[in-house]
Amino acid sequence: MDHFEYRDGVLHAEDVPIPEIAAEVGTPFYVYSTATLERHYRVFDEALAGMDHLICYAMKANSNLAVVATMARLGAGADVVSGGELARALKAGVPPEKIVFSGVGKTRDELRMGLEAGIRQFNVESEPELEALDEVARAMGVTAAVAIRVNPDVDAKTHPKIATGMSENKFGIPIARASEIYARARAMAGIEVKGIDVHIGSQLTDLAPYEAAFRKVADLTRQLRAEGHEITRLDLGGGLGIPYRRSNAAPPLPFDYGAAVRRTLGDLGCEIEIEPGRLIAGNAGLLVSSVIYRKQGDGREFLILDAAMNDLIRPAMYDAWHDIVPVREPGPDDPVAPVDVVGPVCESGDTFTRARALPHMDAGDLLAFRSAGAYGAVMSSEYNSRPLVPEVLVNGSSVAVIRKRPTLEEMLGRDAIPEWLS
Ligand code: LLP
């Protein structure tokens, strides 16, 4: 459920008509709903009720400071994957003791940043990383709290570019070698092992791969405890999918996910950490765009938008589907006809969808891509020298621009012409 609905024939973000925002900031822009963000957090929190748990919002999905601050205010922790995200988490008010640091290639500088901030936990993904963290921590005279990410060799049955839990993927240590690597970690003076970490992929629409992975983690917990390790935390990663296409069957709900956690890991007495990103932010955001031209091609029609692949890359990158809706509500009897929805960027990959059945829209009309709050703005670029899209946060009837569109001067100002050319 989200808070983007038609009221009096016009799409609203909570209590704010989308055309009002468009008039204020221009198109294209991202708009997020506070009520939806909050709701998604609470749904997870309730799904894990009764178990000691911490929800570490995966900031990679949407790391705007205002979005992260919205999460922090609810009590969420953060899952960060770079020094940049760590800096954002701290600036947005996430307490360091609720920050976990994931990622397969943390640099020594990033490890140091995490230790200096006093974060809760490093999710370590390899032996060389373990060695580096031990070394950096000892040099600083501190110990690093660690969960080791295991690769359970489970097929998450999602898009290959976002599946992470198979042995062929670059993530984690092979689960079969866990015993040996945990023993090494225990011998390191700079490392304090706290738990096990697992994340098998993103946009999962089936609970079976989760259950399979969680059972392996449960077995490993028992085995490591028998070997004398104190395992008190289990980080289960993120990955629960969202309904991108409203006409399709909905994926399992956080409630069902919580039940699977309870079933497989509930008797171990561990603190459960989860790292949802997409489910928190995805359906809490729209990308709003204007039609520039409606163009008749050879046997097909094109809607050419002012948004492009640089603003929302998911269709080009993962063949992802985003529901597209006109901002003016179509009548029940308005005809729909197939159109290709494309951006102005000079490559054919800049196609949001082909032959999509949509109500008639013309130049100047506003439309919205749904489910664009996660992996939308964060993955945007200035390809074709198109300034980054602005972001807007709505809260009831309040509206705030949380990242403004850079001016052309600001965009050009980041480059420098060397002396020998001037
Ligand atoms: N934890 C770890 C270690 C991760 O790698 C990820 C996502 C998450 C948590 C959050 O997963 P989520 O709950 O959002 O599914 N750009 C792609 C998605 C990449 C996901 C990468 N890792 C997309 O647009 O579909």
Distance (Å, whole) CA 71 – CA 61: 13
| Catalytic residue list contains 346 | yes
CA of 262 to the centre of ligand 1 (A): 22
Phi and psi at 367, nearest 5°, equal -140, 165
The residue contributing the CA closest to ligand 1 atom 20 is: 202
User: DSSP 3-state assignment of 244?
Assistant: coil
Looking from the CA of residue 313, the nearest atom of ligand 1 is: 24
Looking from the CA of residue 61, the nearest atom of ligand 1 is: 14
Looking from the CA of residue 241, the nearest atom of ligand 1 is: 15
Output the CA–CA distances (angstroms, integers) from residue 412 to 16, 240, 381, 386, 416, in the order listed: 33, 39, 14, 11, 8
What tokens were used for 280? 């928190």
Other CB atoms within 10 Å distance of the CB of residue 159: 14
CA of 28 to the centre of ligand 1 (A): 25
Fold of 103-274: TIM Barrel (3.20.20)
Q: What does the pLDDT look like over 90-103, one tens digit per residue?
A: 999 999 999 999 99
Mutate to test the pocket of ligand 1, among 202, 312, 314, 319 (most ligand atoms within 8 A of CB): 202
**C-alpha torsion sign, points 176, 181, 183, 186:** negative
* Per-domain residue ranges of the chain: 4-31+282-412, 103-274
The residue contributing the CA closest to ligand 1 atom 12 is: 239
Stretch (H or E) spanning 351: strand 351-359
Stretch (H or E) spanning 226: helix 208-226
Mutate to test the pocket of ligand 1, among 157, 206, 278, 280 (most ligand atoms within 8 A of CB): 278
CA of 190 to the centre of ligand 1 (A): 29
Looking from the CA of residue 278, the nearest atom of ligand 1 is: 14
Distance (Å, whole) CA 354 – CA 347: 15
Parallel/antiparallel/unpaired status of strands 10-13 and 16-17: antiparallel
pLDDT recorded at residue 417: 97
The residue contributing the CA closest to ligand 1 atom 19 is: 162
DSSP state of 266: G
Burial label for 359, CB within 10 Å (0-12, 13-18, 19+), is middle
pLDDT recorded at residue 246: 87
Q: Give the strand order in the sheet containing 16-17.
A: 4-7, 10-13, 16-17
The DSSP secondary structure of 155-216, one letter per residue, reads: ---S-GGGB--STTSSSSEEGGGHHHHHHHHHT-TTEEEEEEE---BSSB--SHHHHHHHHH
The residue contributing the CA closest to ligand 1 atom 15 is: 239
Looking from the CA of residue 314, the nearest atom of ligand 1 is: 24
How big is the chain by its Cα radius of gyration, in Å? 23
Burial label for 21, CB within 10 Å (0-12, 13-18, 19+), is buried
The residue contributing the CA closest to ligand 1 atom 7 is: 202
Looking from the CA of residue 149, the nearest atom of ligand 1 is: 3
pLDDT recorded at residue 158: 84
pLDDT recorded at residue 168: 78
DSSP state of 373: S
**What torsion, rounded to 10 degrees, do the Cα atoms 271, 114, 34, 319 define?**
-90
What does the buried/exposed string (b/e) look like for 78-112 if buried means 16 or more CB atoms within 10 Å of the residue's CB? bbbbbbebbebbbebebebebbbbbbbebeeebbb
pLDDT recorded at residue 247: 84
Exposure of 302 in the CB half-sphere (CA atoms within 13 A): 16
Cα three-residue angle 144-148-149, rounded to 5 degrees: 135
CA of 59 to the centre of ligand 1 (A): 9
Distance (Å, whole) CA 218 – CA 283: 32
- pLDDT tens-digit profile, the chain (422 residues): 689 999 999 999 999 999 999 999 999 999 999 999 999 999 999 999 999 999 999 999 999 999 999 999 999 999 999 999 999 999 999 999 999 999 999 999 999 999 999 999 999 999 999 999 999 999 999 999 999 999 999 988 888 888 787 777 888 999 999 999 999 999 999 999 999 999 999 999 999 999 999 999 999 999 999 999 999 999 999 999 999 998 888 899 999 999 999 999 999 999 999 999 999 999 999 999 999 999 999 999 999 999 999 999 999 999 999 999 999 999 999 999 999 999 999 999 999 999 999 999 999 999 999 999 999 999 999 999 999 999 999 999 999 999 999 999 999 999 999 999 98
The residue contributing the CA closest to ligand 1 atom 6 is: 238
CA of 56 to the centre of ligand 1 (A): 13
**What torsion, rounded to 10 degrees, do the Cα atoms 226, 232, 235, 236 define?**
60
CA of 354 to the centre of ligand 1 (A): 26
For 4-31+282-412, CATH number out of 2.40.37.10, 3.40.50.970, 2.40.30.10, 3.40.190.10 equals 2.40.37.10
CA of 23 to the centre of ligand 1 (A): 33
**What torsion, rounded to 10 degrees, do the Cα atoms 316, 319, 323, 325 define?**
30
Q: What is the pTM of this model?
A: 0.97
Exposure of 127 in the CB half-sphere (CA atoms within 13 A): 11
- Which one of 49, 346, 416, 421 is the catalytic residue? 346
Ligand 1 pocket by Cβ (under 6 Å): 58, 60-61, 79, 102, 162, 199, 202-203, 237-239, 275-279, 314, 318, 374-375
What tokens were used for 282? 């995805």
User: Which residue type is seen at 332?
Assistant: P
Looking from the CA of residue 203, the nearest atom of ligand 1 is: 15
CA of 383 to the centre of ligand 1 (A): 23
Mutate to test the pocket of ligand 1, among 41, 54, 60, 148 (most ligand atoms within 8 A of CB): 60
DSSP state of 215: H
Output the CA–CA distances (angstroms, integers) from residue 388 to 154, 294, 394, in the order listed: 37, 24, 19
What tokens were used for 408? 């052309």
